[in-house]
Amino acid sequence: MSPVVVAVPGTLCSPAVFGPLAHAWPGVVHAVDWMTAPGPWRIEDVAARIASRIDRPALLAGHSTGGCIAAHLAATRPELVAGLLLVNTGAHMRGHGDVDRILTTIETAWGPQLHAAVLDRSFASPVPDSFRAELLAYAARVPRAAALEVLTSQRDLDLTPALASIRCPVRVLHGVHDRARSLADAQYLARHLPTAELTTVDTGHTPVWEDVPSTVEALESLVPQRLS
């Protein structure tokens, strides 16, 4: 039986980005809707809530902010994580644009225009209109407080000291056309995670949707005996 994949999307990102992966993966993919769930929404709190729902070791796939959540969970609850996929994320937010400006924009200009800007930069090419509408509808349901709290938490958190303790198999997957996270972020993760391998793909910020075959291959590499 293929291992369960617990998939954690990024800030403002609908769990629907993992829909194509759920169809392609031979087992179960459980995409976590953590942004519309009740708070608190600090990285540590979200990781603890997800951990409380995992009853056996699973593959953990974290995208963007979800990657920070997933890495924190793997460091604090290693018995729950059979393998870790970190997608277009980083150990910290140094060099991640002007984080304080982003937080100010959330405080002062929260709404459809901001949601669209965040979502549109998450893909190298425009997504189908119907899918974009689904993503925007999800973003409209996210409380502004959730975005502020999780990004403030992520800004203030540096996972570097915890990375050496993550001993499960790790794959760092990075879309090289990302306008949010640089390749240097992925390389930094790969250097500081003892078991990590880095794979780059020709996508934007969201290879879990833009390049499903590479995502499946990355997950398969985390399984002791590769799936057929």
State the DSSP code for 132. Answer: H
User: Which one, of 49, 90, 52, 88, lies nearest residue 68 by Cα?
Assistant: 90
- pTM (two decimals): 0.95
Q: Which of 1 and 185 is assigned the larger pLDDT? A: 185
Ranges of each domain in the chain:
5-220
Residue with tokens 């729950």: 80
Tens digits of residue pLDDT in 38-91? 999 999 999 999 999 999 999 999 999 999 999 999 999 999 999 999 999 999
Q: Which band of pLDDT confidence, cut at 50, 70 and 90, is reported for residue 227? A: very low
Kindly list the distances between the CA atom of residue 186 and the CA atoms of 59, 90, 155, 168, 183, in Å, as whole numbers in the listed order.
19, 6, 17, 18, 5
Tens digits of residue pLDDT in 133-180? 999 999 999 999 999 999 999 999 999 999 999 999 999 999 999 998
**What pLDDT is stored for residue 95 in this prediction?**
66
Instruction: Say whether pLDDT at 97 is over 70.
Output: no
Tens digits of residue pLDDT in 172-222? 999 999 998 999 999 999 999 999 999 999 999 999 999 999 999 999 999
CATH number of 5-220: 3.40.50.1820
Contact of 35 with 41, CB cutoff 8 Å:
yes
Q: Which band of pLDDT confidence, cut at 50, 70 and 90, is reported for residue 228? A: very low
Kindly list the distances between the CA atom of residue 194 and the CA atoms of 6, 87, 160, in Å, as whole numbers in the listed order.
22, 17, 12
